[in-house]
Amino acid sequence: MKKILVLGSSIAGVKAIEEIRRFEPDCEATILTDGEYPYDRGLFTPVLSKEADYKKIFYKPNDYYEKNRINVVVGQKIARINLKKCKVTTDDKQAFEGDVLIVTDAPGYKLPEIRGVNKNGVYTLQQLTDLNLILDFLPLIDTVLIQSDSNRGASIAAAFLKRDKEVIWVVSTDQVAQNLLAADTTGKLAAAARENNLRVVAANPISEILGEGDVKAIRLKSGKILAAQIIIFPDAPVDFKILADPAVTVDGKIRVNEQFQTGIEGVFALDAACVSADPGQENAGFLLVTVLEQQGAAVAAALKGSKMADAANS
């Protein structure tokens, strides 16, 4: 094993490199990220609500990677992935190869098929680049619209309310709305709904996003138009179309065994890239740091076992 290639900004990938270096101290390591150094996505809503310092999002200080000979390549859009060759090619034609490929994040997320969904101001808030854009834009907006049936959508709504923004929350049914409001033990969402700072819209999804280049408003299925400057789809599923390979079963996410191995030798999938763990292992809809560290350690253990078996057979 000479080269470890990690795709994604997950803590799990960093931990895998740390543990692999225990028995392969001279291996090369490269991390390709979506725009930032590895971070804890569970802190997105606490940062958004000002309950956590932004700097705490990052798993390690930036100089950690240089000191530990980990090459972090930021802001590269992925154009092609060859799993069998453990090779990743970026939009600007740069190619990165490894003896081991660890995929820790989705190359992208599937926004709903709504007219205008690609306008500026539409986010999934599943990557740090989205959070950064929202924080930059926040002083200029009055209203945020969130279309979500999840507890994570509820937590995002609460975070924007703490920023004194008007929130429109679109859910699929009245029952979903009632269940999510009841699950908020603080009672703040229900109170905001009574005070009209939170507007809950049920059984009337977005049919079109309006505006020239930037979001200005949305049209609901009923035809009603509501003004909003930010639209968030936090339940958007991962998009693995560039990972299509007959040796890898994809059902929303990549299927792996108990050691996070895919059906291709030398290729592992962790965190957002593999099948979801028990919801009890999550924080704000994302896996806990301890769980991600365990995943990284499991990959290292699998590779160490393979190395020992190879040595015994040689």
Q: Which contiguous run of DSSP H or E holds residue 23?
A: none
- Rounded to 10 degrees, what is the CA torsion of 188, 50, 146, 74? -160
Q: Let me know how long the chain is.
A: 314
* Residues in contact with 266: Cβ distance below 8 Å, sequence separation at least 6, in sequence order: 86, 99, 100, 101
Q: Could you say which architecture CATH assigns to the domain 3-109+238-313?
A: 3-Layer(bba) Sandwich (3.50)
What would the mean pLDDT of 256-261 be, rounded to a whole number? 92
**Are domains 3-109+238-313 and 122-232 of this chain identical in fold?**
yes
Whole-number pLDDT of residue 251: 63
Q: What pLDDT is recorded for position 246?
A: 66
The mean of the pLDDT values for the chain is 91
The token duo for 271 is: 């965190």
**What's the sign of the alpha-carbon dihedral 112, 31, 241, 75?**
positive
Q: Where are the domains of the chain?
A: 3-109+238-313, 122-232
Give the residue-averaged pLDDT of 72-92.
90
Contacts of 204 (CB under 8 A, 6+ apart): 170, 220, 221, 222, 224
Q: Looking at residue 25, what is its pLDDT?
A: 95
Top-confidence residue, 188 or 29: 29
Percent of the chain with pLDDT over 70: 92
Report CA 79 to chain centroid distance, whole Å.
18
Apex 53 CA angle, 50 and 57, nearest 5? 115
How many other CB atoms are found less than 10 A from the CB of residue 171?
A: 25
Among the listed residues 21, 283, 48, the one whose alpha carbon sits nearest the alpha carbon of residue 160: 48
Helices vs strands, H then E, count in the chain: 8, 20
Burial 258-297 (b: 16+ CB within 10 A, else e): eebbbeeebbbbbbbbbeeeeeeebbbbbbbbebbbbbbb
Half-sphere exposure of 97 (CA within 13 A, CB side): 6
Superfamily covering domain 122-232: FAD/NAD(P)-binding domain (3.50.50.60)
Q: Is 294 a residue whose pLDDT tops 90?
A: yes
Answer whether 0.85 is exceeded by the pTM.
yes
Cβ count near 164 (within 10 Å): 8
pLDDT digits (tens, 9 = 90+) for 29-60: 999 987 789 999 999 999 999 999 999 999 99
Across the range 183-209, mean pLDDT stands at: 94
Lowest mean per-residue pLDDT among 17-21, 128-132, 164-168, 285-289? 285-289
Q: Is residue 277's pLDDT more than 60?
A: no
- Whether pLDDT at 185 is above 90: no
